Chain A
Amino acid sequence: MTTELVGMHMSDGIVNAPVSLGFGVVAILGLAVCVARARRDLDDRTAPLAGLVAAFVFAVQMLNFPVLPGVSGHLLGGALTAILVGPYVGALCVAIVLVLQALLFADGGLSALGTNITNMALIGTFVGFAVAVAMRPLARRSRAGLLLTAFVAAWVNTVVASMGFVVEYALGGQGLALGTVFGLMAGFHALIGIGEGIITALTVGAVAAVRPDLVYLLRGQRSELTLRTAAVR
């Protein structure tokens, strides 16, 4: 038997109805901005490209990584999509994945869609991207810098998204003392974030090695032609 180490979609009933509905409004407003800006990023290519990126996010979440024998985890993908396709298209893709997971697979409650989208699609991608932008000079300098940037962005993004849950629980949850929730969520996600960071960093590295022009974070950077010598046998 293998144990899966995953961040989770919130189910119905974790936070009360007014808070669920309130975050539903936050999610709709946030996504409206994302739709407008995604169109500006990709114009009429938006639908097919974002559709395929969303399918990619969905497929990647199916892949399990070994952590230790018997324990596996999978990627959440917020920071990864933000770095590769930008925060607006990224947030839109993750949000659509969340809506379809709730409607087609009953994963994540319908009334919790607002909170889940706020945490994972909005906070998740935008915080990750903000960190990546802050570290962009480093990312442009070298490959190691890019990997470090992606790692830090993914780690911060995982922990801050879990803090979104803590805020929602503080507003509309019952039962646990806030300190306990904060400790549990921060500790658990600090660990998950390490795995998320490693996978995000290496994936961004793999894409940047082949098609650096596709990495949104590095856009506008002209790579100089480098001549290398190779031994001929």
Chain B
Amino acid sequence: MGAGHAHTLHHAGDSVVHRLPAHVKIVAAFVMVVAVVATPREAFWVFGAHLLLLVAIWVAARLPVAAIAARSLIEAPFVVLAVLLPFFATGPRTEFLGLSLSVDGLLAGWNILVKGTLGVLVSVTLGMTTPVRDLLAGLTRLRVPGLVTTIATLMVRYLEVIAAEARRMRLARVARGHDPRFLWQIGPTIRGIGTLFLRSYERGERVHLAMLARGYTGAMPLLGDGTTSRRSWTLALVPAAAAVLLATAGYA
């Protein structure tokens, strides 16, 4: 799994993109990503057009490009895989700067690099324009079972609490001279994780009692009137439809 996450992506704003309902944006993002993945890897210009589409959305949402770039770095490990592919893949080979590279590997590496990057950019755009609680409410609108979204909501709400607890435990260990460098020095860290699990679980029991005391019946109330205007759907699905058309054009 990926590295630690300190902050969510959200970038406050009130542009058209920010104001679209979250569930509409989630659907649009999924359609766009699948369209990008379905684009044939030899259709190079189509990927450029996909990028232009995203740039247009960023302009409409007034997102700073530097922040988008910084948040896309999460993809970096896969760039390594893409760079390695031309060396390890089989098939006919070509010479480039004295290196023997596999043609199929080059294409496969390019495929992962470009689709991975565009995919991350779509995810980052969705994350930056949608607050966390709206994303969760959006998932409920999309018929994700209430139990799942409630678990996700509580997880997001308590993540900071649990993470802060973990930080305080680490600080306490460091203050007492714990400076682990080798795998066999992790005893105290692990006892800390055991304690962290117990505290999380017991906090869960207390949260459950607190929820019961406030009238919890097994489902969270859904806020908002639950109707989505046709205009919102059209607005969000225009770029998604454009991406699908581009992908189809790539096969021609």
Contact = CB atoms under 8 A, between A and B. Distances in A.
Contact of A96 (B41, B151, B191): B151
A106 B147 contact: no
B112 A106 contact: no
Chain A: interface residue count, which band?
Answer: 35 or more
Contacts of B115: 11-13
Contact of A59 (B1, B190, B196): B196
B240 interface: no
Contacts of B88: 176, 180
A168 interface: no
B140 to A, nearest CB: 13
- Residue from A13, A51, A176 with most neighbouring chain B CB atoms (10 Å): A13
B200 A55 contact: yes
A195 interface: yes
A52 interface: yes
Contacts of B4: 61-64, 74
Contact of A198 (B116, B161, B183, B194): B183
Nearest to A207: B194
A104 B9 contact: yes
A42 to B, nearest CB: 9
Contact of B135 (A17, A66, A104, A202): A104
B170 to A, nearest CB: 8
Given A44-B218, A48-B208, A96 B148 contact: yes
A102 interface: yes
B112 A105 contact: no
Interface stretch (B26-34, B57-65, B228-236): B26-34
Contacts of B48: none
Contacts of B12: none
B98 interface: no
A14 B116 contact: yes
A45 B205 contact: yes
A155 B186 CA distance: 18
A55 B158 contact: yes
B137 interface: no
B109 interface: yes
A110 interface: yes
A203 B193 contact: yes
Nearest to B132: A104
B152 A52 contact: no
A75 B155 CA distance: 18
A65 B205 contact: no
Interface stretch (A2-10, A130-138, A220-228): A2-10
B120 interface: yes
Given A48-B204, A48-B205, 7 more contacts: A12-B37, A47-B151, A52-B200, A54-B151, A56-B200, A174-B111, A207-B194
Interface of A: 4, 6-9, 11-14, 16-17, 20-21, 31, 35, 38-39, 44-56, 58-69, 74-76, 84, 92-93, 96-112, 120, 173-177, 180, 195, 198-199, 202-207, 209-211, 214
The 4 closest A-B pairs by CB, nearest first: A13-B115, A175-B108, A206-B194, A51-B154
21 contacts: A11-B119, A12-B33, A12-B115, A12-B118, A13-B111, A44-B208, A44-B216, A44-B218, A46-B151, A51-B152, A54-B151, A66-B180, A66-B181, A74-B1, A93-B151, A101-B2, A120-B1, A173-B108, A175-B102, A176-B105, A199-B190
